[in-house]
A = this chain, B = another copy of it.
Amino acid sequence: MNSPTSQLLDGFLVQCQQRVNQSLHRQLEGDFTSVILRDAMAHACLDGGKRIRPVLVYGSVQAVGGDLDWADNAACAVELMHSYSLVHDDLPAMDDDDLRRGKPSLHKAFDEATAILAGDALQSLAFQLLAEPVAAINSDTQLKMVQILAAGAGFAGMAGGQSLDCEASGQQLDLTSLETLHRSKTGALIKASVQLGALCCPQLQDTEMIALQDYAEIIGLAFQVQDDILDVTGDTETLGKPQGSDKELDKATYVSLLGLEAARSKAAELSDVALESLSSFPASADPLRELAAYIVNRIN
């Protein structure tokens, strides 16, 4: 993590990353039907990534007074889901990216068939894990969590957004269409992460859930605006993926539609609104507060 962070956030990020990395390792131990598939799944989800979605899961359960232990499976599940989406997005038929998290993308390190299957199996594993009984969470709530993750990943969420993104290639979207695209493509899983984290705490209040959902929607957009900014201002080494790829693909971005400075203002503004949505939360929500700032200040 090279982006500027506070000591509090730094500590929280490291703690969350360690937790989710442990969970991911545990999921990929033991006997696998296909060793190649196991290695491909490991390549896709171990050793890398900022783990923003798991951090949001943990940040949310802590914000509402819950224990991080209760959220381990949910945190791991959202990261598995995110990892699968990156693998499929990188495929030649989609974004055709050779580099991911500073390493060859999965279809480059293995082959296309293995990348398709590893993505498929990562998605299944996310649901398998999320449906494992957790003592602190009642089964009705866990079922609801499965539904939330499925909706966030499926046609009304991530996959639907990626489909819009493919359709939009080479077209000049307006700002409304761009927001619709990102609300589903990246926003839906970010929102699901926050919702899942909150639901891991049995004492969750409806008002807390509403505030956290607002927070999630706003930082989801902020995250994407900053991504578009970094695609222009970052360098390939820091990003771990090719700089300038949006422009090369002639994709509409917040920068192409608003200009760089206005995009930066928008990101900062969204970060402020995200903070406001957490105004009624105690200090336990500080990691989420600082994350709102981090998301728009990160350099990779």
Pairs across A and B, CB under 8 Å, 11 listed = A32-B160, A33-B156, A33-B161, A33-B184, A34-B164, A91-B116, A128-B150, A131-B131, A132-B147, A133-B140, A139-B139
Q: Is the CB of B139 within 8 A of A111?
A: no
Note all chain B residues with C-beta closer than 8 A to A113. 91, 93-94, 166
Note all chain B residues with C-beta closer than 8 A to A151. 124, 128
Contact of A127 among B41, B150, B160 (CB under 8 A): B150
Q: Can you name the residue of chain B whose Cβ is closest to the Cβ of A133? A: B143
Q: How far is the CA of A28 from the CA of B112 in the complex (A)?
A: 29
**Chain A residues in contact with chain B, CB under 8 A?**
32-34, 36-38, 41, 84, 88, 91, 93-94, 111-114, 116-117, 119-121, 123-125, 127-128, 130-133, 138-140, 142-144, 146-147, 149-151, 153-157, 159-164, 166-167, 180, 184
Q: How far is the CA of A149 from the CA of B125 in the complex (A)?
A: 10
Q: Is the CB of B120 within 8 A of A119?
A: yes
Q: Can you name the residue of chain B whose Cβ is closest to the Cβ of A41? A: B155
Also in contact, A167 and B34, with CB within 8 A (given A41-B155, A139-B140, A147-B132): yes
Q: Is the CB of B142 within 8 A of A38?
A: no
Contact of A143 among B33, B84, B139, B159 (CB under 8 A): B139
Q: How far is the CB of A132 from chain B (nearest CB, A)?
A: 7
Note all chain B residues with C-beta closer than 8 A to A163. 33-34, 36-37, 114, 117, 121
Q: How far is the CA of A71 from the CA of B149 in the complex (A)?
A: 22
Note all chain B residues with C-beta closer than 8 A to A162. 117
Contact of A155 among B37, B131, B144, B155 (CB under 8 A): B37
Q: Is the CB of B94 within 8 A of A160?
A: no
Note all chain B residues with C-beta closer than 8 A to A153. 120, 124
Q: How far is the CB of A110 from chain B (nearest CB, A)?
A: 10
Q: Is the CB of B125 within 8 A of A154?
A: yes
Contact of A128 among B111, B114, B154, B161 (CB under 8 A): B154
